[in-house]
Amino acid sequence: MLFSSLTFLFIFLPILIGIYFLANEKYRNYVLLVASLIFYSWGEPKYIILMLVSIIVNYFFALMIGKQKKKHKLSLVIAIIFNIGLLVFFKYLGFIIANINPIIGADFKEIKLSLPIGISFYTFQILSYVIDVYRGKVKVQKNIFYLATYISLFPQLIAGPIVRYETVEKELQHRTCTIEKASDGMRRFVVGLAKKVIIANNVAVIADTIFDSNIVTTYGAPVIIFGTLAYTFQIYFDFSGYSDMAIGLGKIFGFTFNENFDHPYLATSITDFWRRWHISLSSWFRDYVYIPLGGNRVSKLKWIRNIMVVWALTGLWHGASWNFLIWGMFYGILLLLEKEFLHKLLDKLPKFINWIYAFIIINIGWLIFRVESLSTLKQLFINLFTFKTAGGLDFIRENFNLISYIPFMLIAFPLCFPIFNKLNEKYKDSVVFGIFKDIILIGLLLLSIAFLINNSYNPFIYFRF
């Protein structure tokens, strides 16, 4: 089930809100647990067992770690192996076999498994919980149903943000649910829904038409740039829209999730970009991989190793494909260059030049991210950097209908910047502005529903995560 579906908006969510607020506070976690399991099983009925097994096994791992006075590492190591093992088996085993066979001359049969939705998200949440119990940062959750509620909590289950147990530890025990808080949550949800349905889904038509074409390698630089820009807007408004909806839903039910995006296309360097993009993922890798490896408090060579390991894993986290690994390494190298050399130059340049540099690099990164075939990717870069322009007129003639989607591109660009944040801050005490804002949000909600009823394009880009 998707947040941006009529089933969720008109059946699942209203019924859940009604039951939740009618229930006694001590039963609300159980209401959310049952609702979350229904939500997940709606699209992945066979893999709900996998998630439940993972919850039960890690519940006992955490109990074992918590009972050990000296916190012996063995239980933690076994827990990490178990969780990473499940992730590797379901997400990467086919990729590993396909690449090992030609190297060692073997003929291992490829195992084709459908990827459990959200396995990367809930595995990382479970790992953060078990590791933090070992570190003494959080207390062991002895109520298995409360732990299951945290792991399966439907707002962030399939598309993030990655919510750490310490963030919601107290709220699992007691949280305040008020009309005001629920109203704020609904407003945030509507913003996210509009980002996803009105902007992301429509610019996705442009990106998918170009990059899913069987003649994409014949397109010249203008078409490639057009498609890349469309994907740049699609992935931001799609992903940040889902994060907004998750944060809003969490607030409705009394939870406060951390922000996952901070206007990333405002970045003036790649380092700045990764402080703003998918914050929960980059901070997870920082705290559970980079720092345990030694961070930057090691020799130069080991520091370089640490950076590259983190970014190789970041790339692979997004999918079992070479383009994702290349994408991660691409950013790892860029971050090393910025930290060692480029920051001195960037500090001397005007902010606008820095922004242009970052935005171009980010777009190149999204081109790598979007195109899975390495041969296709290679040809697109050749066409792009040799400024090949052939095929542009043919593309326009064959895809003239895409002109109707260009206004969504024009709307997307300014909305990447904190225009409304500044207006909110300036007029936060204005009753008139508050009423005006709510009228706009009602309009966006109705428009989003109209797009969904009209069967507009509604892709879900997180199946591979």
Q: Looking at residues 176-194, what average pLDDT do you find?
A: 93
Residue 429 has pLDDT above 90, yes or no: no
Secondary structure (3-state) at 160: coil
Residue 43 has pLDDT above 80, yes or no: no
User: Radius of gyration over alpha carbons of the chain, in Å?
Assistant: 23
DSSP conformation class of 297: S
| pLDDT value at residue 97 | 86
Model confidence pLDDT, tens digit, residues 226-257: 999 999 999 999 999 999 999 999 999 999 99
Both tokens of 283, joined, read 């901070």
Report d(CA 19, CA 17) in Å as an integer: 6
Report d(CA 225, CA 364) in Å as an integer: 9
Torsion of CA 39, 91, 285, 336, to 10 degrees: -140
Asked if the bond preceding 161 is cis, omega within 30° of 0, the reply is yes
Active-site residue 318, yes or no? yes
Supply φ then ψ for residue 370, to 5 degrees. -80, -35
Q: Tally Cβ neighbours within 10 Å of residue 250.
A: 24
Report d(CA 46, CA 190) in Å as an integer: 31
Query: pLDDT higher for 34 or 463?
Result: 34
| pLDDT value at residue 458 | 73
Report d(CA 232, CA 359) in Å as an integer: 10
What percent of the chain stands above pLDDT 70?
A: 97
Model confidence pLDDT, tens digit, residues 76-130: 999 999 999 999 999 988 888 888 887 777 777 777 778 888 899 999 999 999 9
CB 32 within 8 A of CB 20: yes
Nearest of 409, 421, 318, 413 to residue 372 by alpha carbon: 318
Report d(CA 106, CA 39) in Å as an integer: 41
Catalytic, out of 72, 174, 263, 318: 318
Domain boundaries, the chain: 6-175, 181-453
Environment class of residue 46 by beta-carbon count within 10 Å: exposed (0-12), middle (13-18) or buried (19+)? exposed
Please, which residues have CB within 8 angstroms of residue 451's CB and are 6 or more apart in sequence?
197, 198, 201
Nearest of 357, 394, 395, 356 to residue 211 by alpha carbon: 395
